[in-house]
Structure 1
Amino acid sequence: MDQLNNLIKSNWYGEKNSSCDIACLREALKQARTEKDNMLLIIDLLKLGDFAVKGILFKMMSTTKDENILNLCIRLFCSVASHKDLLKSENLLFLSDLSENNANTFAASALYTLSYDVVPYLLAMLEEWEDTEVEGTIRNTLDIFLNYSDEINEEATVDEIGNYYLDFIKQVDLNNYYYYSSPVFPGTLAKKIIEKSVTSINDGIPVRTNVIPTLLSVWSGVKCPVQYDTIVDNKILDEIYQYVTILSKMNWETGAKYFYGNRVF
């Protein structure tokens, strides 16, 4: 389980499998007999842009009894789910029977869907997980999506946030994917990671951001050189500039979602 455990602890899904193409991995998937093997092959196929395999991922989320497998499934689901995937409630049946740990995982990972279509699920969970750690995580994710705390109240009720959401989405293009209410674009986040890295090297403090390095790594399939607790030095700053140069040479469209360089549909 070492590879699986490493993925569970990581903020991305590792390098692409350079030894197999889609046909090879598909054949291996037919022969797979364990959830672990299925999971690893699904990840490798998704990295190559074979999004047809998402159906197997969705089924595994609803049937697995393994907490670690489900944890990774949830994170992967949020990374590759399209608007259409989120609108199909049968894809999220797993939400009805979650441990507190994996409820918290979904609440945090929902941010990586970058889709306002995940908000109704978070609102339903907010009522269910009231007065737990999960509630705080849900509220934080909802606030990043909606910025509701500045407009109504940090402790707003489910109904108040729900009504605010219904008004909010009238102002956005729901075909786009969003981060902090703006259509996502890697160049914008690359600029922010440079700014945070410069602050880190000047002040001797950690970068203190999880989301941006994860998004850039997962979108591009190239691991970001910094993580939350990285204190940047001159060498790392050079690596950041090189990293941003790599990203700048890739094809991106504002408001689109990507997984390992492949546009998510």
Structure 2
Amino acid sequence: MLSLYLSSDGFRAITVLLLAIGQAVMSQWPDWRKWPETIASRSARQSTPAVPIDWAFAVWGLIFLECFGFGIWQLLPGQLDDPLLRSIGWLAAGVFALNIAWEYYVPRRDIDWGSVAIIVAALAVLLTIVWRIEAAEPHNAATFWLVAAPFQLFSGWISAATFVNLSSTLRFSGVAIGTGRSVALIAAAALLGSVIAAKTGALIYGGAIAWALFGIVVANRGRVPNSRVAIAAGLLAPAVPLAALLGS
């Protein structure tokens, strides 16, 4: 048994699990260590109408849990030489590492162009993973819930978060992010998500983007200057899951 984990497959699987745990730990590290700034404080300072309401970010708890489940699954002896897990294993390690880098960077530096570069890189890796998983269909139930579902959820949220991050970065750079630019960013997120959802049929991916858009609706509800943002997000929220249903 030990020899399995001394192999290249074993080293990969252990690395993936440690990084899956690491991203959950790093998300709370600034609070635990009482850093002067945290992700939450930076986000609050650079908030725009394109940012979802605070409680929508609770989805990270589910993302971390599902990534941990994936990490355990791919570490089981019977899964070490699975062709799909070999195909996405180092990509998964890479995206977990990029997420850790973003979680460290933002409290230290701010939501700026460096944070955009990190999140765009993470999105590119996540979409590659989703593409490879979908190309390997059909899946049994375990593969769907422990491999496909975690990365659909993760990539869907990051697809939306990329544009949220961009809106905050533009504000950080001195660009006014009012109703018009917020609607444009929301529309861009929905368009990207709809194209990917239609190509992959990834319903959980579409649901994650819809959740982010719903969070934007609630964040702007009752705010007269931002009513167009709430309306746009509300109208676009069903579009991405619908694209996944039509494409599946």
TM-score range, shorter chain: 0.3 to 0.5
Give the structure with the larger helix fraction.
Answer: 2
Q: Indicate the structure whose relative CO is greater, using CA pairs within 8 Å and at least 6 residues apart.
A: 2
Given the two structures, how large is their TM-score scaled by the length of structure 2?
0.34
Given the two structures, how large is their TM-score scaled by the length of structure 1?
0.32
